[in-house]
Amino acid sequence: MAYKTALGEEAHHRLDEIGQADILVGIPSYNNAKTIGHVVRTAAEGMVKYFPDLKPVLINSDGGSTDGTMEVVRQAPIPKGVEKIITEYIGPSGKGSAFRTIFGIAQALGVQVCVVVDSDLRSIEPWWIERLAGPIIEGEYDFVAPFYNRHKYDGTITNNICYPMTRTLYGLDVRQPIGGDFGFSTELAESYLAKDVWDTDVARFGVDIWMTTTAINEGWRICQAHLGAKIHDVKDPATTLGPMFMQVVGTLFWLMGLYEDNWRKAKGGRPAPFYGEPVEAEPEPVQVTLEAMIDKMRAGIGEFGDLWQVILTPDNFLRVEKIATLDYEDYAFPAELWVKVVFEFAVAYNKSDLVPEEVIRAMTPLYYGRTAGLVVETWEMNNAQAEEAIKAQARIFEGLKPYLVERWALVGAS
């Protein structure tokens, strides 16, 4: 109950009124008035329909929205018996701080299971709640990750870094390690809450990769829930993903230092078990501005070229330098080179005297460069074919893991 004292007055009062609950759905938000009403209604319906014998609570953990998001949640009609708690979170602005509040309320209410879902979902259905909570209610798992059908250009940070790195480093194939919609056992939520990370990038966009990586490395039971298509407010990766990249990849690299003993020994990408039957659903297309991503790559050589030369091996720097000069129609950024770039930046982040934040900042144009390369490679492919290309890239990561181990040891010994 310790975290209860950090909540706002209204939330504190509601906790006293409710006293105890069994199942909780938490929805973090920031200026999501247009979409959150549907998420609230659907999540509440899911709790009542699929878990009629459990006492349900719905939490909106908001980051100070100015568009009336919290009022939409307050007015959203929900089934009788579902309690609402609507509160602004306390702490650094970001999704992680919202989760911290949700976990604290779950702990205070003594729930059996905690589910979190994004506030901009348009494809959520009541059965999503069963898929995310069921494995935990049944006592089989502690952490449920989502498994979606996504458009080939949705989730570029996942596809190019988080998915292949998680699979390669820790030996477990979790396709959406930063998916946004998860289920947790009470014990796992309390374990997260007790960790001293909530003033770091984990409090922002780093929280999803942190939760997944922590669950894998600390031995919690993990599965993936088939959820069909994820349709949400996606944006062109060429224009919007810079800050998210910094926080997510910074957290991913930081965790490599924390769990070094584990990833050096881990082998193979065994798939995490699945819960529920696959769902046939077609995601909405995501528009990408290829030239804009290539332009960011080209600009990077001017802004960060000196730092790239320090971080990358001479051969890889020359290859990157050449890519930055390619015309649009000839553009390519090979997966094998990208893997080595990621590994060398991970080593620099953890093992060099460089400022970690500067390392990630310098890596950002290269991420745009590889994303552009993947777009070129998959332009004529449908979503299923592009998915196979993404998995093929992950296997290249796995195949080159000895290169990472070698570079890690070499820099550490120098």
Write a three-state SS string for the chain: CHHHHHCCHHHHHHHHHHCCCCEEEEEEECCCCCCHHHHHHHHHHHHHHHCCCCCEEEEEEECCCCCCHHHHHHHCCCCCCCEEEEEECCCCCCHHHHHHHHHHHHHHHCCCEEEECCCCCCCCCHHHHHHHHHHHHCCCCCEEEEEEECCCCCCHHHHHHHHHHHHHHHCEECCCCCCCCEEEEHHHHHHHHHCCCCCCHHHCCCHHHHHHHHHHHCCCCEEEEEEEECCCCCCCHHHHCHHHHHHHHHHHHHHHHHCHHHHHHCCCCEECCEECCCCCCCCCCCCCCHHHHHHHHHHHHHHHHHHHHHHCCHHHHHHHHHHCCCCHHHCCCCHHHHHHHHHHHHHHHHHCCCCHHHHHHHHHHHHHHHHHHHHHHHCCCCHHHHHHHHHHHHHHHHHCHHHHHHHHHHHHHC
Residues 263 and 297 in one domain: no
pLDDT score of 9:
80
Residues 264 and 333 in one domain: no
Residues 262 and 320 in one domain: no
**Residue 385: which pLDDT band, with cuts at 50, 70 and 90?**
very high
Question: Average pLDDT in the 370-378 region?
Answer: 97
**Per-residue pLDDT reduced to its tens digit, 186-211:** 999 999 999 999 999 999 899 999 99
**Per-residue pLDDT reduced to its tens digit, 220-242:** 999 999 999 988 876 666 666 67
Question: Average pLDDT in the 351-361 region?
Answer: 97
Residues 68 and 104 in one domain: yes
Q: Which of 251, 275, 299 is the last residue of a domain?
A: 275
d(CA 316, CA 89): 44
Residues 247 and 343 in one domain: no
Question: Residue 115 maps to which CATH number?
Answer: 3.90.550.10
Asked if residue 55 is part of any domain, the answer here is yes
**Residue 414: which pLDDT band, with cuts at 50, 70 and 90?**
very low
Residues 256 and 356 in one domain: no
Residues 215 and 80 in one domain: yes
**For a pLDDT cut of 90, what percent of the chain falls above it?**
88
d(CA 166, CA 34): 34
**Per-residue pLDDT reduced to its tens digit, 76-133:** 999 999 999 999 998 899 999 999 999 999 999 999 999 999 999 999 999 999 999 9
**Residue 5: which pLDDT band, with cuts at 50, 70 and 90?**
very low
Question: Average pLDDT in the 286-292 region?
Answer: 92
Asked if residue 281 is part of any domain, the answer here is no
Asked if residue 169 is part of any domain, the answer here is yes
Q: Which of 275, 310, 327 is the last residue of a domain?
A: 275
Judge contact between 181 and 229, C-beta under 8 A: no
Asked if residue 192 is part of any domain, the answer here is yes
CA dihedral angle for residue 94, residue 97, residue 99, residue 102, rounded to 10 degrees: -130
Asked if residue 77 is part of any domain, the answer here is yes
Residues 294 and 231 in one domain: no
pLDDT score of 4:
47
**Residue 1: which pLDDT band, with cuts at 50, 70 and 90?**
very low
**Per-residue pLDDT reduced to its tens digit, 20-79:** 999 999 999 999 999 999 999 999 999 999 999 999 999 999 999 999 999 999 999 999
Asked if residue 79 is part of any domain, the answer here is yes
Residues 269 and 300 in one domain: no
**For a pLDDT cut of 70, what percent of the chain falls above it?**
96
Sign of the CA dihedral running 198, 199, 205, 211: negative
Residues 237 and 326 in one domain: no
Asked if residue 283 is part of any domain, the answer here is no
pLDDT score of 233:
76
**126, exposed or middle or buried, with CB in 10 Å at 0-12, 13-18, 19+?**
middle
pLDDT score of 234:
65
Q: Angle between the 126-137 and 36-50 helix axes, to the nearest 10 degrees?
A: 50
Asked if residue 280 is part of any domain, the answer here is no
Q: How many domains does the chain have?
A: 2
In this predicted structure, the answer to whether residue 246 has a pLDDT above a threshold of 90 is yes
d(CA 288, CA 9): 44
**Per-residue pLDDT reduced to its tens digit, 388-402:** 999 999 999 999 999
Residues 308 and 409 in one domain: yes
**Structural domain boundaries, residue 158:** 2-275
- Length of the chain (residues): 414
pLDDT score of 355:
97
pLDDT score of 241:
67
Output the CA–CA distances (angstroms, integers) from residue 281 to 204, 227, 232, 411, in the order listed: 30, 9, 14, 46
Judge contact between 115 and 183, C-beta under 8 A: yes
pLDDT score of 413:
57
Residues 245 and 128 in one domain: yes
pLDDT score of 29:
97
**Residue 244: which pLDDT band, with cuts at 50, 70 and 90?**
confident
